[in-house]
Amino acid sequence: MARFWVCVAGACTLFALLVLHFHICGSPVFRKLSFQVNWNTKEILYRLDVGWPKYSEYFTGTTFCVAVDSLNGLVYVAQRGDNIPKVLVFTEDGYFLRAWNYTVDSPHGIFAASTPHEQSIWITDVGSGSYGHTVKKYSSLGDLVQVLGTPGKKGSGLNPLQFDNPAELYVEDTGDIYIVDGDGGLNNRLIKLSQDFSILWLRGENGSGPAKFNIPHSVTVDSTGRVWVADRGNKRIQVFDKETGELLGTWDNCFVQEGPSAVRFTPDEKYLIVAQLNLSRLSVVAAPPVGDIGMCSVISTIQLADQVLPHLLEVDRKTGAIYVAEIGAKQVQKYVPWSGYVL
């Protein structure tokens, strides 16, 4: 890795460039990643873990999403393609463990809900086949446990509950579920379900006004009771109260070029990690204090090569490692906190 300082008017910053050689669709491609920090940051926050996974040949499809079971040190990758395993399971060190393909059509989002009492994997499926337009719960070994929605049939109904291209979900340790429904489908909404799958509240419809969405693509929840939604088509993040669903604020000043496709918190909740798909960029954004959403402030960026296309990501709650599902490069990569950055 080559590192160098850049100084402007007496203010200096450290840049690091890492050039890797890898293959996409059989053709050799040189990939350059630049790790950039702003003028006031003394440390680079993340570095690429070049040893994860140990063997990338297991990525045989288009990698759409990734989940981390931090309690057990497992990483789940969901990919699309014909006649391939849809879910791959790795250790946090990059060793391949197993794969499963049961009742998965076209995965879009994946989440690992892990407590001392239960480990489960949730997948949003946007396929047009008999398993599509659903949110499904699996055991860690791939056994189907629960299906939400009407399999194979898209819709907007609430009784019974229906989905149309559900994008992603977040499951709290309490069992409450937050689903963003509408990756280009009929619906543009955020739904909160209780642990027994009753609807607690629903927000959103298609539009650009407050609490409306245009492709709500990712959702996460912080420890202070705020729900953060990547409103991709409207180029903003909207924030809601997790108890009432009330809109608390909006960030749009950081996403002028392109809307966010993924949003997750670091373990200490000092930062949000935000992906922008077509810009092939990850941003480290300062999290606001309780009671003040304020304005978005980017602390650091990781600029990937063109057409890498980071789709969704996950952050390990224990180690702070970032796992990024790249639909252009057809792989998942791991970024770990740089030495000196304490979570």
Instruction: Specify the CATH number for the domain of residue 58.
Output: 2.120.10.30
Q: Which of 136, 158, 168, 162 is nearest to 150 (CA)?
A: 162
Per-residue model confidence as pLDDT tens digits over 196-232? 999 999 999 999 999 999 999 999 999 999 999 999 9
Q: Which of 109, 106, 138, 104 is nearest to 121 (CA)?
A: 138
Contact 202, 158 (CB under 8 A): yes
For residue 212, which amino acid is it? K
Q: Strand, coil or helix: what is 292?
A: coil
Looking only at the bridges linking them, the beta strands covering 247-251 and 236-241 are: antiparallel
pTM: 0.89
What's the CA dihedral at 249, 243, 234, 160 to 10 degrees?
-160
Does residue 6 lie in a domain region?
no
Does residue 218 lie in a domain region?
yes
User: Residue 288's domain spans which residues?
Assistant: 41-337
Does residue 322 lie in a domain region?
yes
Determine the distance from the C-alpha atom of residue 155 to the mean position of all C-alpha atoms in its chain, rounded to a whole number.
24
- Enter the tokens of residue 268: 């200490």
Alpha-carbon Rg for the chain in angstroms: 19
Q: Mean pLDDT score of the chain, rounded to an integer? A: 88
Does residue 10 lie in a domain region?
no
Looking only at the bridges linking them, the beta strands covering 310-315 and 298-303 are: unpaired
What is the spatial order of strands in the sheet that 2-8 belongs to? 2-8, 11-24, 27-37, 298-303, 281-286, 271-276, 262-265
Q: Strand, coil or helix: what is 188?
A: coil
Residue spans of alpha helices (H) in 157-282: none
Percent of the chain with pLDDT over 70: 86
Residue length of the chain: 343
Q: How far is it between the farthest Cα atoms of the chain? A: 63
Number of domains in the chain: 1
Q: What is the pLDDT of residue 246?
A: 98
Contact 43, 37 (CB under 8 A): yes
Does residue 16 lie in a domain region?
no
For residue 60, which amino acid is it? T
For residue 288, the 8-state DSSP code is P
CA distances from residue 183 to 17, 86, 180, 271 in whole angstroms, order as listed: 34, 20, 8, 25
Per-residue model confidence as pLDDT tens digits over 307-329? 999 999 999 999 999 999 999 99
Low-confidence stretches of the chain (pLDDT < 70) are: 1-43, 339-343
Q: Which of 68, 60, 67 is nearest to 86 (CA)?
A: 60
Contact 188, 204 (CB under 8 A): yes
Q: What is the pLDDT of residue 118?
A: 84
Residue spans of alpha helices (H) in the chain: none
Cα separation of 28 and 43, whole Å?
32
What's the CA dihedral at 109, 114, 117, 119 to 10 degrees?
50
Per-residue model confidence as pLDDT tens digits over 282-306? 999 999 998 899 999 999 999 999 9
Cα separation of 79 and 94, whole Å?
17
> Quick one: 169 exposed, middle or buried, by C-beta within 10 A (0-12, 13-18, 19+)?
buried
